[in-house]
Structure 1
Amino acid sequence: MQTLDIMLPHYGDTALLQAAVRSVLAQTDGDWRLSVVDDGREEGVPEWFASLGDSRVSYRRNERNLGITGNFRKCVELVESTHFTMLGSDDLLLPGYVETVRAAVAAEPGAAMYQPGVQVIDEHGRPSVTLGDEVKRRLYAPRTRGRRLVLSGEPLAANLLGGNWLYFPSLCWRADAVKAVGFRTDLSVIQDLALIVELIRRGERLVVDPAPAFCYRRHSGSLSSAEAVTGARFGEAVRYFSEVADDLDRHGWPRAARSARRHLSMRLHALTMVPGALRHRRSDAVRRLLGYALTTAE
């Protein structure tokens, strides 16, 4: 494995961005290269990066706003190494992240995706336990029993389409596999799952390493949370799951296709968002969320 490229697409809170960058600087394995692609216009950010004085850190600001998927695509285009991570600008690497993923790649060099152990934190950086994360951990995530697992094929696709237990910003990716597929421009909050399922359909493997290496931040200000309250994200999900189910049927993976059509975890997620929509007095969102959650699966 060459130097790990850490790509950081940014738009939002400058303080959280700086914390994410500091977590990269604190790595026990210094063989990394950080590229920040700023889709915002916050004052003082370019100057802060210039003050770091670390040749491993590069910063560029987009001339125009590309949006979340557009910025993801640009980050992938800029990857130079064999492997990369797409770090969220509100997330944190634990000090051993680079060391952990490099060891996983060395052990299973042919895989396309590497999932290290993840700790969930809230907007204040405190450990957090959410219903969604507990459901994913208990019902969908594999039992590693302290060892690396290698997963692939239709069983993995069916599992993830039933409940996506991966943490996208924590994944280490094999660059050539991702560049061959890319992020879909017609998706804004489920594009990570679409990429992962397509990689699996093409025969790529996922390595799960239980060693804690990443802090994933959950807070109400995220794009996915904002769209969930209005019900917008679930309209995109319905379209994607219907489309991928048909694709998987044609591919000869009926179990994965059935899992996509049922997408039970996403339906349950929609149901849990109803109280928030009620608090915001969004009767239109309540109707959409209930309609999505309670529609009979094909």
Structure 2
Amino acid sequence: MTTLDIMLPYYGNVALMQAAVRSVQAQTDSDWRLTVVDDGKEPTVPGWFAELGDPRVSYQRNEQNLGVTGNYRKCLGLVREEHFVMMGTDDIMLPEYVATVRAAIAKHPGIGMVQPGVEVIDGAGKPTEGLADQSKRRLYKPRFTGEALMGGEVLATSLLRGNWLFFPSICWRTDAVRTAGFRDNLEVTQDLALVIDLLQAGEQMFLSDTLCFQYRRHAVSISSQQAFTGKRFEEANRFFLDVADRLDKEGWTKAAKASRLHLSSRIHALTMLPGALKNKQSDGARTLLRHVAGSDHR
């Protein structure tokens, strides 16, 4: 089996990025290659990588800021192997991650996506589980023990009810993602859009409950910054309605209904209302209220 390409589109906190890199270096399965694409301007970062001295780690800095989607596309273009991970700049790979996903690929050659077990941590690295994560795990995520193989309308419906995936922890088949691509007009829903596109193309996902990845959720994420202004939910509304129309044409009526309803997204908007009011984001509060009420959905 080929080496696993680990792509790290970097922007933000230097210490957290360094912890992410070290977590890759600590893998029990050493058959990986890490590529860091720096979309920022932190002065100490190039020197740190120059001193790292690990031939499996390569680093490059963009001449100009490409933004989230632009840097994703650049990373995707640099992938050389059959499978890759688009790791988050502040996430942690537990030591068995590479071994776990490579075993899954060996068991299911040609699989489009592998989602292993994930633990949510806070900014300090401590395990945490907020109301949103609890709801996704208890209400929306399929119940299975060990492993499961899912795809088609069943998986699409589940994810459109409540997206319980963790994008930075997913291992992807390279040619499938290159065919689907990343959409120009999306940021915070880019992950779900990619998965739905792959499902419509006939790809399947392998699910494992083996815990081997830590996803960091904290207040400085792009989605959190945008939430109080309502920008996140304006994008979400456009995405869900567009997907619903496309799924109706495919005959996936159950998934289309779940997308048009997007109930978990509306509940999420409701939880953000107090923060918007507290931060005196009146326009954002109105946007959140419209999303909660479903007044924008057809």
Shorter-normalised TM-score: what interval? over 0.9
What does the per-residue CA deviation read over 1:20-49, in whole Å, with 9 as the maximum and x for residues that have no partner? 000001000000000000000001101000
Q: Distance in 2 between matches of 1:195 and 1:184?
A: 8
Aligned to 1:18: 18
**How does 1:272-291 map onto structure 2 within 5 Å?**
272-291=271-290
Q: Distance in 1 between matches of 2:33 and 2:142?
A: 31
CA RMSD of aligned residues (A): 0.8
Q: Distance in 2 between matches of 1:219 and 1:109?
A: 35
Cα distance, 1:144 vs structure 2:
1.8
Q: Distance in 2 between matches of 1:188 and 1:295?
A: 21
Cα distance, 1:140 vs structure 2:
0.8
Q: Distance in 2 between matches of 1:132 and 1:94?
A: 23
Task: Give 2:123's aligned amino acid.
Answer: E
**How does 1:57-136 map onto structure 2 within 5 Å?**
57-136=57-136
Cα distance, 1:287 vs structure 2:
1.1
Task: Give 1:187's aligned amino acid.
Answer: L
**How does 1:174-193 map onto structure 2 within 5 Å?**
174-193=173-192
Q: Distance in 2 between matches of 1:281 and 1:186?
A: 27
Task: Give 2:162's aligned amino acid.
Answer: G
Cα distance, 1:110 vs structure 2:
2.1
**How does 1:230-241 map onto structure 2 within 5 Å?**
230-241=229-240
Q: How many residues of Structure 1 are paired with residues of Structure 2 in the alignment?
A: 297
Q: Distance in 2 between matches of 1:144 and 1:69?
A: 33
Partner SS, residue 55 of structure 2: coil
Q: Distance in 2 between matches of 1:72 and 1:54?
A: 23
What does the per-residue CA deviation read over 1:153-202, in whole Å, with 9 as the maximum and x for residues that have no partner? 11111111111100000000000100111110111111111110000011
Runs (5+) with no aligned partner, structure 2: none
What does the per-residue CA deviation read over 1:75-118, in whole Å, with 9 as the maximum and x for residues that have no partner? 11110000000000010000100001011111112211100000
Task: Give 2:87's aligned amino acid.
Answer: L
Task: Give 1:292's aligned amino acid.
Answer: H
Task: Give 2:226's aligned amino acid.
Answer: E
Q: Kindly indicate whether residue 246 of structure 2 is the aligned counterpart of residue 214 of structure 1.
A: no
Q: Distance in 2 between matches of 1:140 and 1:188?
A: 22
Q: Distance in 2 between matches of 1:172 and 1:276?
A: 34
Q: Distance in 2 between matches of 1:228 and 1:266?
A: 12
**How does 1:246-257 map onto structure 2 within 5 Å?**
246-257=245-256
The structure 1 segments of at least 4 consecutive aligned residues displaced by more than 4 Å after TM superposition are none
Aligned to 1:156: 155
Q: Distance in 2 between matches of 1:251 and 1:288?
A: 31
Aligned to 1:143: 143
Partner SS, residue 289 of structure 1: helix
What does the per-residue CA deviation read over 1:241-289, in whole Å, with 9 as the maximum and x for residues that have no partner? 1111111111111111101100111001110111111221111111110
TM-score, scaled relative to structure 2: 0.98
TM-score, scaled relative to structure 1: 0.98
